[in-house]
Amino acid sequence: MSGTLLVTGASRGIGAAVARLGAARGYAVCVNYNASADIAEQLVQDIRAAGGQALAVQADVAREDAVERLFETVDAELPPLTGLVNNAGLSGLVNRIEDAPAETIRHVMDLNVLGSIWCARAAVRRMARRHGGDGGAIVNISSGAATLGSPGEYVWYAASKGAIDSLTVGLARENAGDGIRVNAVAPGFVNTEIHAASGMPDRLEKIAPTMPIGRAAEPEEIAEAVLWLLSDAASYTTGAVLRVAGGR
């Protein structure tokens, strides 16, 4: 693969695994992060040590102005953009809807939904043939929650991922004639820090045995699906939501 792959929220978890595999497959990688500069820089050093090209760029992708600056940095510092992975996301603390603070719900929507929209818009402006680009691919990270609804945990998060699925279909159809494929990966249950951040540090131990496949995924198993969707091997696949959820 050539060109630049921008991965939002790539300092750890699924985003970091996508960045690492993307670099191994030949992309120059923009490792976006918001707060975790140290681990983002370490990931970039690891990629460079392995012979790859990478750059860590701080940006809160929930903010439209920060997203504009992020893409302008990519334009200035890296080869032309050919791929975007909208990965940055969070759930907020588990709660029933009647007890959930407005601030939590707003933050989740701002990051998961609007953040993905700001980034997709900036990517289309660069990659679409009608704007002089050479085409490319976008992968949105959805969740099994989009269809399960996450009752008693975080229904607002599930709703944000439902919006991601709709965004995926719409963007795919709007941009198919301009050389951009748009797909989503919907992970089920992945071994990352998102569960502890949602106030459920023991979620992995509790839920893993209830998964049809009997365990949580490792982030690398999600990254494989993402890299396939980005690649020319998926040349006829657009508008798809690929569930990578161990049967759930």
Task: Examine residue 89 and tell whether it contacts ligand NAP (CB under 6 A).
Answer: yes
Among 4, 87, 95, 168, binds ligand NAP (CB under 6 A): 87
DSSP code, position 137:
E
Residue pair 92/104 in contact (Cβ under 8 Å)? The answer is yes
Rounded Cα–Cα distance for residues 130 and 175 (Å) = 9
13 forms part of the interface with ligand NAP (CB under 6 A): yes
The encoded tokens of residue 74 equal 């990519």
* Least spacing, CB of residue 115 vs ligand NAP, in Å: 7
157 in catalytic set: yes
User: Using only C-alpha atoms, what is the Rg of the chain?
Assistant: 17
| Binding flag, residue 62, ligand NAP (CB under 6 A) | yes
Residue 85 binds to ligand NAP (criterion: CB under 6 A):
no
**Contact region for ligand NAP (CB under 6 A) — 11-19, 42-50, 71-79, 172-180?**
11-19
Name beta bridge partners: 53.
28
Q: Judge contact between 128 and 175, C-beta under 8 A.
A: yes
Listed ranges 77-85, 94-102, 118-126, 187-195: which one lies at the site for ligand NAP (CB under 6 A)? 187-195
Residue 193 as a binder of ligand NAP (CB under 6 A): the answer is: yes
- Whole-number Å distance between alpha carbons of 131 and 191: 39
Which of 69-78's residues contact partners 24+ apart within 8 Å by CB, and which partners?
A: 70/6, 70/30, 70/32, 70/119, 70/122, 71/6, 71/119, 71/122, 71/123, 71/126, 73/30, 74/4, 74/6, 74/30, 75/126, 78/4, 78/28, 78/30, 78/53
If one asks whether residue 233 binds ligand NAP (CB under 6 A), the answer comes out as no
Which of 168, 162, 161 shows the shortest CA–CA distance to 183? 168
Minimum distance from CB of 154 to ligand NAP (Å)? 10
Structure token digits, residue 69:
């600056």
Contact predicate 44/19, CB 8 Å:
no
Told to check if 184 binds ligand NAP by CB under 6 A, we report: no
Name residue 29's beta-bridge partners.
5, 54
User: Contact between 116 and ligand NAP (CB under 6 A)?
Assistant: no
Site for ligand NAP in 27-56 (CB under 6 A): 32-36
Binding region for ligand NAP (CB under 6 A) out of 26-34, 71-79, 146-154, 169-177: 26-34
Question: Quick one: 183 or 192, whose CB is closer to ligand NAP?
Answer: 192
Does 140 engage in binding with ligand NAP (CB under 6 A)? no
Q: Is 187 in the site for ligand NAP (CB under 6 A)?
A: yes
Q: Out of 27, 33, 154, 157, which one is annotated catalytic?
A: 157
The interface region with ligand NAP, picked from 47-55, 98-106, 130-138, 182-190 by CB under 6 A, is 182-190
Residues with a known catalytic role: 157
Interface residues with ligand NAP (CB under 6 A) are 8-15, 32-36, 60-62, 87-90, 111, 141, 143, 187, 189-190, 192-194, 197
